A = this chain, B = another copy of it.
């Protein structure tokens, strides 16, 4: 899969990040651990020089894992030395980005392993004990909607504290009255969409969507299988498992999310609608820290649930700069801004995200046909 990278590469790349962006500024006589690593482990920073093409990362039999671990130990040590002295603000800012960056790769490592293991006919399990072998038999709480009055709201991260550049500046947006679903769409609801011919009815789809469906032969979310033609099985990081209708659906693309919403007589929320609802939401979601690595059914009860955690939620907003957006200085300016075309914004984090990594202002983004992340759906609609 061209979007995925081997685990070894993630390890080396996150190490290289600190070596490339922090150490040259603090080491008196900076010398890289290995000359070629800037080429091998640079992901996409044009300003830092040429790099190994992403689809060829899988070819790297050398350096072997032990060497990558030595590299990691070496940079850890140098970073400790660098941080031992009196703190320098501009260095700490980059270190904070480096930590957040590594958290992002912790999530990618899980989703890339999941994809690679699914491609293997042995269907190996990454964390066999993460989930009970069979899901419990318990329905999801019924879907309800919470009305939102709309008006001029503020979204985006405040100037103080850590946030990515793409979350700033905080600014005002005019939001129309609408209603937001109390929980994400479940596997059971998605099954109803499928059984109603969802993947075969062009009138439900964007033009690009039906084209992708037909070209790739999509008939269900990624990782759903029906090997015996009878009951649906879902591949998880604990291996294959019967489908739990109560869990939030995951691994659907924007194109599918949009079609589902149309089928359901609803639509996807905008970023502003989502963020203004999430600002004060309770934190009841599943994160990577639990070691479940799989979304869990929503709890019962009133109000909005699972805004943070479990599944990333597709919004209807194209990924674009906020009014007055300024990217970070230097090569780190390439971190977010240069991807602001043709992608769609997602919100809220997933069961593979480290708990402290996300916040209500956090903006994730993928192409409309991407499915290998834990991406799900929360619908919105016009007020009743």
* Interface residues in chain A, defined as those with a beta carbon under 8 Å from any beta carbon in chain B: 6, 34, 36, 39-40, 44, 46-47, 52, 56, 58-63, 116-117, 119-122, 124, 152, 171-174, 176, 202-203, 205-210, 254-255, 258, 267, 316-318, 320-321, 323-324, 333-334, 338-342, 344, 368, 382
Tell me which residues across on chain B come within 8 A of A60, comparing CB atoms.
Answer: 120
Interface hub of A46, A122, A202, A334 (most chain B Cβ within 10 A): A122
Interface secondary structure of A, over-half rule: mixed
Interface hub of A58, A59, A119, A344 (most chain B Cβ within 10 A): A59
Interface hub of A40, A176, A318, A342 (most chain B Cβ within 10 A): A342
Assess the A209–B176 pair: CB atoms within 8 A: no
Tell me which residues across on chain B come within 8 A of A44, comparing CB atoms.
Answer: 207
Cα distance, A202 to B121, chains bound together (Å): 23
Cα distance, A171 to B205, chains bound together (Å): 25
Using known A-B contacts A36-B122, A173-B174, A176-B171, determine if residue A208 contacts B341 with beta carbons closer than 8 Å.
Answer: yes
How far does the Cβ of A38 sit from chain B's closest Cβ, in whole Å?
A: 10
Tell me which residues across on chain B come within 8 A of A174, comparing CB atoms.
Answer: 152, 172-174
A342 in complex: contacting residue of B56, B320, B368, CB < 8 Å: B368
A59 in complex: contacting residue of B120, B171, B172, B317, CB < 8 Å: B120
Assess the B56–A58 pair: CB atoms within 8 A: no
How far does the Cβ of A262 sit from chain B's closest Cβ, in whole Å?
A: 10
Tell me which residues across on chain B come within 8 A of A117, comparing CB atoms.
Answer: 61-62
Would you give 20 A-B contacts (Cβ < 8 Å), ordered by A? Answer: A6-B61, A34-B122, A36-B122, A39-B121, A46-B202, A46-B203, A46-B210, A47-B203, A56-B119, A59-B120, A61-B117, A61-B120, A152-B174, A172-B174, A207-B334, A255-B341, A258-B341, A316-B320, A318-B320, A324-B382
Given contacts A63-B122, A206-B338, 18 further A-B contacts (CB under 8 A): A6-B61, A34-B122, A36-B122, A39-B121, A46-B202, A47-B202, A58-B59, A61-B116, A62-B122, A171-B176, A173-B174, A176-B324, A206-B340, A206-B341, A208-B341, A208-B342, A318-B318, A318-B320
Assess the A62–B342 pair: CB atoms within 8 A: no
How far does the Cβ of A241 sit from chain B's closest Cβ, in whole Å?
A: 18
Cα distance, A318 to B341, chains bound together (Å): 8
Shortest 8 CB-CB contacts between residues of A and residues of B: A318-B318, A46-B202, A174-B174, A207-B338, A62-B124, A176-B323, A206-B341, A36-B121
